[in-house]
Amino acid sequence: MAKAASKNAKIKDTKAAADAKNWTKVIRAVRSPKSGAYTFKESIVHKDKIKEYLAQ
């Protein structure tokens, strides 16, 4: 049988989940200058800074 989670653990998880909603995984296609093939770079960016990150 599985253990029941304590109430304190659930409270900590909701705080972390609320903070985690502010971050987004951004996948960017970058073209290689040598071969011309595309590679993908993944980053975790704050939701307010996504446009700045993509403009780079």
Structure confidence at residue 4 (pLDDT): 67
Kindly report, residue by residue over 2-44, the tens digit of the pLDDT: 666 666 656 667 777 788 889 999 999 999 999 999 999 999 9
Q: In a 3-state reduction of DSSP, which class is residue 52?
A: helix
State the pTM of this model. Answer: 0.59
Residue 17's nearest CA partner among 9, 28, 26 is: 9
Structure confidence at residue 46 (pLDDT): 95
